[in-house]
Amino acid sequence: MKIVFAQSRAPEAEVVAFVVKKDDVAALALPGVDAGARALLAAAASGQRFEGEAGTVAEAYVGEGQGVTRILLLGVGSGDDAAYERAGGALTAKLLTSGATDATVDLAGSGATAVAAARLAAGAAQRGWRFDEYRTRLPEKQKPTLTTVTIAAAPDGAEAEWTTRDAVTQGLALTRTLITLPANILYPESFVERVIADTAGLGLEIEVLDEAAMHKLGMGALLGVAQGSRRAPRLLAMRWNGAGAGDPALALVGKGVTFDTGGISIKPAAGMEDMKWDMGGAGAVAGAMKTLALRKAKANVIGVCGLVENMPDGNAQRPGDVVTSMSGQTIEVINTDAEGRLVLCDCVTWVQKTHNVKTIVDLATLTGAMIISLGSEYGGLFANDDGLADQLLAAGKASGDQLWRFPLGDAYNKLIDSPIADMKNVGPRGAGSITAAQFIQRFVDEGVKWAHLDIAGMVWADKDGATWAKGATGYGVRVLDRFVAENFEG
């Protein structure tokens, strides 16, 4: 989706939208629209029960000169910035396959701030993302037509604000694409190739570890997950040095299981196709790193993606096996479908040993228990530091990628003690998300601030959202970008 900023609305615009606050329809001033057209719009709004709630739309066709203009009213509720983002998404959802190729949002007299205008543009652009690569027989009426949204009469500074949000939008597009691709196309090696190609020229320093390198480092936990697949594992590290020389201040670590059968502890067949998005954490890290590079964030950040495929062949890891992690700690594998934590623990150890980081945030579609707890409204947050947790909660609220904090503690930690190894990879059925987080915490060095985001319910949506269509949401990119901007950039 192309976003254009203009000083005023072009007279020839065929589709024009105006923003409307809640219960403000009657008092609406529509610049350039005559009294007859205003009366028609008011009647249309009444007939469509439109009252200006955030994300709602009313429309009418009005005659102007020798032609007809399609006019939309976009509800922005109380008029806060987030409501403008929802309005932008609603605009695109309404017009994407309508036959219209461009639309103009006229903000003259609206009172919109620069941030609100930029968020409206972001909502419109993000809602326009589609993945039709394999739909060779898509009916003409279902093909997208809307290519351009023009923001007219935006306040000073709106275009500069959009530049930052454009970077987020492009990061989201990468994440959504990675998550949507099927597992026969996206596997550890091709994940690396696609990310390198997509971020080429942005200034990211790339390091890739192959299977031999990981064996040499003793990454037995990650390699144990991968050993049942013909697809070789990879570790992808992307470093952004926006603050100059020195160690990264922050590490973002993502679980990248490009397909998860469950291994020998195989999953039920129904719904297993969804497990192509079990690399959602790694996808979010890749998208966030692209965003930081695009907007030239003034922070040193490293993104690490642990990439494996979990398959049940004759060489696959068995329940009861004991593996040795890169940290030297041993793990009794009780359930091979609790594989994400085995991948993450070696990635966390690697980034601590090689880059001297003091703050780590890991992201993973880790547990079904998190979906039971929070559904698809919040991601789960676990942290060993209250200040870090508060920063992430604030970033989640501001960005729209909301988080909810869960507890950690010794009582939960004891539940993963093993009688024959240092720990086992699952605890009892209760508190499954918490014991998974406790497992990862055992690999965090003393003095390192750490947070774990369990985003199992968030990376894929079964219905349309405000700024995404059904499918990959891109969850994680926005909260990570906001977290970096507010806490790691001077």
Residues with a catalytic annotation lie at 267, 341
Q: Which helix (H) or strand (E) holds 392?
A: helix 386-399
Residue among 220, 223, 253 at smallest CA distance from 236: 253
Q: Which of 124, 125, 112, 123 is nearest to 158 (CA)?
A: 112
Distance from the Cα of residue 231 to its chain's centroid: 25
How far is the C-alpha of 158 from the C-alpha of 160, rounded, in Å? 5
Helix H, strand E, coil C: the string for 169-235 is HHHHHHHHHHHHCCCCCCCHHHHHHHHHHHCCCCCCEEEEECHHHHHHHCCHHHHHHHCCCCCCCEE
Burial 431-462 (b: 16+ CB within 10 A, else e): bbbbbbbbbbbbbbeeebbbbbbbbbbbbbbe
Contacts of 217 (CB under 8 A, 6+ apart): 209, 326, 350
Task: Give the contacts of 67 (CB within 8 A, at least 6 positions apart).
Answer: 14
H or E element in which residue 436 lies: helix 432-441
Beta bridge partners, 15, equal 70
For the purposes of burial, counting CB atoms within 10 Å of the CB of 384, is it exposed (0-12), middle (13-18) or buried (19 or more)?
Answer: middle
Residue owning tokens 């976003």? 3
Q: Is 275 helix (H, G, I), strand (E, B) or coil?
A: helix
Nearest to 71 by CA among 53, 129, 50: 50
CA distance 182 to 179: 8
Q: Say how far apart CA 464 and CA 370 lie, in whole Å.
A: 21
Residue 218, Cβ neighbours under 10 Å: how many? 15
DSSP-H helix ranges across 106-183: 114-127, 158-180
Query: From residue 433, how far is each of 32, 274, 282, 428, 440 by CA, in Å?
Result: 56, 20, 19, 11, 11
Strands 102-106 and 148-152: parallel
Cβ atoms of 441 and 349 closer than 8 Å: no
